[in-house]
Chain A
Amino acid sequence: MKPALLAAVVLAGTLGTLPSHAGPTQTAVLETYAAQAKVAEPGFAGFSVERGKALFLGRFTTGKPDTPSCTTCHTTDPRKEGQTRAGKVIGPMALSAKPDRYGVLAEAEKWFARNCDSVLGRACTPREKGDFISFMVSQ
């Protein structure tokens, strides 16, 4: 495991000390999800880069058949460009490779709503969203 990733796992949960490329806008989005997660899960103890990575790489059978995984469109390497099923290029998901990611809550919400439904067949929880973004800002 890369040192950065290791550090992220260790430090995950304490916002502000995230070993990440997160700027103020990304931190604000993460704080919003953290606040929502505390309400949704009483035992919420912070986001996890590891869980975010697992969500990203995982394969699911509960969603739509053409989209079993986030990697269907985003590829397994977050720093690489992805491609939609309609052929259009998707910019990299890693914040280091595309610094304007995860800075606008409404944008993130829109895509979580769509993509989680397509892949998982349900909405993502605030914790899953925070995990996912934590993983991506660490990349």
Chain B
Amino acid sequence: MQPRATARLLLIGDRLVNIERRSTDNPGRPPAPPTLLVWDWGVRVFHWALLAAVLLASGTGFLAPANWLNAHLIGGTAIVALLGFRLVWGWNGSTYARFASFALRAPRIVMHLREIASGRGAGEPGHNPVGAVMVYVLLALLGLISLTGLVVLGGVVKQGPLAGLTSYAVGRQWRGAHEALAIGLLVLIVGHLAGVVFESLRTGENLALAMLTGRKHVRAVPGVVPHRAHPGRAALLCAAIGLVALLGSVRLAALPGLGVPVLAPEPLYARECGSCHLAYPPSLASAASWTTVMAGLTDHFGENAELDAASAAQLRSWLVAHASETADTRVANLMRVADPASPQRITTTPGWRRVHGDVPESLFRAPKVGAKGACAACHEDAATARFDPQAIAVPKETNP
């Protein structure tokens, strides 16, 4: 297998050089199309796949409801994988895919800007020096967005490889950075598009089309050393890096989530506090709230829910021992601070009201829900106290 593949690749490499030779050295032959294969398939596939992944990730990140998180994560994972591939390809791709062909050099950038200002200069085969800056900034930004996203996923959602290592507070902080960087990315993408349009008009070369066909109407620059692509080597490297990353992530993701409560079942609680509503996981309210609830069972939200003294005492200490202060999940952090006017309520805490701000009031009274406190009607994992975004499934509103 191996030699044959190499031979074909050699041919591709040769063709690149041949085009120039034919058009310059053999004037007798019919002139070959005066184009040069600049962007190899690796660069082109990377570019358009990255666009798709960024559209998916930013679309779901900015616009979609919380339970679309998996689509967002697929977009993000694809971005990380593509970045990994691009790094490898930057050393193993063909001439203009290589980082060496568009290294950042301040004098060249200045020279290019002067050329633009004076209206001189033509298109270049690879990235022009200013375009190169944009490429590196975009790649770095995407890397940072992915990294911060991973921290947010671990700290806030308690999922992914960093769930076992990241606190909610850290996740919250990085969430701000994640969002700011994502907005920065959108701004840069607009700048990138403007640059492509400007440069296309200036040089008469449709750069977007060139990224599709890979070809530009330019001559190879004499100084640039042509390089063949090494897809086999790149594939091996990608596989090795991917495997290490995958195994590492799986290992890390297997760690128990930091501050995710793991409770032994408490049958007394399930029986006594689960008959009128969900047996609310203790991490949904503070120790103070639970103490207030347990002290007022004979007038429990307009009902008598009294218990014998021994059971009540046992449940109170169990609830207090596992209250929101002992957990570090999003739900525990959101619902730790009670509304002073109704300290026994979960559904009046500022945190609860904030995350349900977009849920129409009528939905809570729909027959399949019944009340705000019927968490399990919309949160499939309510009993586990995780409240994962992916487990949100609001019942269809039924109007009889």
Interface residues of A (CB under 8 A from B): 64-67, 83-88, 113-115, 117-118
Task: Collect the chain A residues with CB atoms within 8 Å of residue B306's CB.
Answer: 113-114, 117
Among B278, B303, B304, B377, chain A packs the most CB atoms within 10 A around the CB of B303
CB atoms of B278 and A117 under 8 A apart: no
Q: Which of B276, B304, B373, B374 is in CB contact (< 8 Å) with A113?
A: B304
Bound CA–CA A102/B277 (angstroms): 21
Q: Determine chain B's interface SS by DSSP, over half rule.
A: loop
CB atoms of A85 and B302 under 8 A apart: yes
Given A83-B370, A87-B369, A87-B373, check contact A114 B305 (CB 8 Å). Answer: yes
Among A85, A88, A115, A118, chain B packs the most CB atoms within 10 A around the CB of A88
- The residue on A at minimum CB distance from B305 is A114
Inter-chain contact total with CB atoms closer than 8 Å: 53
- The residue on B at minimum CB distance from A73 is B276
Q: Determine chain A's interface SS by DSSP, over half rule.
A: loop
User: Chain B 189-217, CB within 8 Å of chain A: the 1/0 string?
Assistant: 00000000000000000000000000000
Task: Collect the chain B residues with CB atoms within 8 Å of residue A66's CB.
Answer: 302-303
Task: Mark out the residues of chain B between 302 and 332 whose CB falls within 8 Å of any chain A CB in the assembled complex.
Answer: 302-306
User: Chain B 361-397, CB within 8 Å of chain A: the 1/0 string?
Assistant: 0000000011101100100000000000000000000
CB atoms of B304 and A84 under 8 A apart: no
Task: Collect the chain B residues with CB atoms within 8 Å of residue A84's CB.
Answer: 275-277, 370
CB atoms of A88 and B276 under 8 A apart: yes
CB atoms of A117 and B371 under 8 A apart: no
CB atoms of B304 and A117 under 8 A apart: yes
Task: Collect the chain B residues with CB atoms within 8 Å of residue A115's CB.
Answer: 304
**B281 CB, nearest partner CB in chain A, Å:** 15
Q: Does B173 contact A (CB under 8 A)?
A: no
CB atoms of A85 and B371 under 8 A apart: yes
Task: Collect the chain B residues with CB atoms within 8 Å of residue A117's CB.
Answer: 298, 304, 306
CB atoms of B303 and A85 under 8 A apart: yes
Bound CA–CA A64/B299 (angstroms): 9
